[in-house]
Chains A and B, each alone.
Chain A
């Protein structure tokens, strides 16, 4: 399994980016239930990130039930059904997002503006541009 190098300057903490990548890999089937994840040290070296950051990502993933950390053996994708359910939910959500983006593009809104709108909306404080 190949994890992409996280973007340190994106504003999203690296450990969150890693968690997202792992969850995404599970959804798409790149990582299957019970499969082993790379160990912290080699992964940190490969991605050139702080091993504590990888450790934190793994801890949070374990806390969310996405993976299991087995003493001495390593990190494994958990067998739980929640992952499968989340995967279904996310597939549906993905479709919605794709549709939404297409509609906005059809109105002439650029990708950059779409991204900003989404981020602002998530932060909870967008007011529409008062231009018609």
Chain B
């Protein structure tokens, strides 16, 4: 992974009529990374992707892919010639067959790899004669992925690549993605609700909430930063304030007090020892914990 950024946004705003979908989004996706883009429904993930691909124009702020602007006609075409996009719905032309849409897509990408095409047709068990109209969601996803992986793209932008897929197919998809990054010197930017999958293959993540980035960085570093400290008391847990720096949240339920800390675990433990809990446990935090904490509304 180099220091080059493949995707970069700065203070990105996007307003659709009355709705502010993006409110000052900052994003940096390093070259060669597998970047997980997380957020609740409606947080702005799909809007971000649309802006990056030149499908929607930003209201304010900057967005660059390969250092180029997606909304100038020429650089937009340049970018899209080096990018592969798979949408959330995986909609394709239902008046074509699998073979026809492959031929159609291939005509736009001079770096198309026919060997990979054959490989994926076999691996995904796709028959070229089948009409796209009758395909199941899983099969459509595989076709869409094949179209994305064979074109020699430097950047894959995937919106929920495994949604609606059974675990076996989802694993096939993840495997294809992992293989692609290893072999092709490319970057993958994908949004997903499947946090365990993101933890499995992503090396960087960003969490967005209401159009803004709330968490961003290398996944290992993020996980190492956060710790969950659980205190059990003999009686009702006291309603305390934790002053140690890095304390993210304190939750009280019955006899249990749970503290989420970003980088300040030992300081927290030192502070709460004074309250004489019956036990203190420090447990590692999963991406799901970080996600749920980050997207809580600040009420």
Q: Do chains A and B touch in the complex (CB under 8 A)?
A: yes
Which of A21-29, A37-45, A69-77, A86-94 makes up part of the contact surface?
A37-45
Interface 1/0 per residue, B165-190 and A, CB below 8 Å = 00000010011001101110000000
Q: Which A residues lie within 8 Å of B220 (CB)? A: 13, 15
**Contact indicator A125/B269 (Cβ below 8 Å):** yes
Q: Which B residues lie within 8 Å of A8 (CB)? A: 196, 199-200
**Contact indicator A52/B203 (Cβ below 8 Å):** yes
**Contact indicator B202/A50 (Cβ below 8 Å):** yes
CA distance A10 to B281 in the complex (A): 16
Q: Which residue of B lies closest to A15 (CB)?
A: B220
What distance in Å separates the Cβ of A37 from its nearest Cβ neighbour in chain B? 15
B279's contact among A49, A50, A123, A129, by CB below 8 Å, is which? Answer: A129
Q: Which residue of B lies closest to A124 (CB)?
A: B266
Q: Which A residues lie within 8 Å of B174 (CB)? A: 48
What is the interface of chain B mostly: helix, strand, loop, or mixed? helix
Interface flag for A116 (CB, 8 Å): yes
What distance in Å separates the Cβ of A123 from its nearest Cβ neighbour in chain B? 4
Interface flag for B131 (CB, 8 Å): no
B288's contact among A9, A14, A15, A130, by CB below 8 Å, is which? Answer: A9
**Contact indicator B284/A50 (Cβ below 8 Å):** no
What is the interface of chain A mostly: helix, strand, loop, or mixed? loop
CA distance A65 to B127 in the complex (A): 49
What distance in Å separates the Cβ of B249 from its nearest Cβ neighbour in chain A? 18
Given the known A-B contacts A45-B175, A49-B200, A130-B278, are A11 and B286 also in contact in the complex, defined by CB atoms under 8 Å?
A: yes
Total of A-B residue pairs, C-beta within 8 Å? 84
Q: Which A residues lie within 8 Å of B183 (CB)? A: 41
Q: Which A residues lie within 8 Å of B175 (CB)? A: 45, 48
B178's contact among A12, A49, A129, by CB below 8 Å, is which? Answer: A49
Interface flag for B126 (CB, 8 Å): no
Interface flag for B191 (CB, 8 Å): no
Residue total for B at the interface (Cβ-Cβ under 8 A): 38
Interface flag for A102 (CB, 8 Å): no
Q: Which residue of B lies closest to A13 (CB)?
A: B220
B280's contact among A49, A52, A127, by CB below 8 Å, is which? Answer: A127
What distance in Å separates the Cβ of B39 from its nearest Cβ neighbour in chain A? 19
CA distance A120 to B288 in the complex (A): 21
CA distance A129 to B255 in the complex (A): 14
Q: Which B residues lie within 8 Å of A50 (CB)? A: 34, 178, 181, 200-203
Interface residues of chain B, those whose CB is within 8 Å of chain A, are 1, 32-34, 171, 174-175, 178-179, 181-183, 196, 199-203, 220, 223-224, 234, 265-266, 269, 273, 277-288
Interface residues of chain A, those whose CB is within 8 Å of chain B, are 8-15, 40-41, 44-45, 48-53, 116, 119-120, 123-127, 129-131
Interface CB pairs A-B, < 8 A, 19: A11-B283, A13-B223, A15-B220, A41-B179, A41-B182, A44-B178, A48-B201, A49-B178, A50-B34, A50-B203, A52-B33, A52-B34, A53-B203, A120-B280, A120-B282, A123-B265, A125-B266, A127-B273, A131-B278
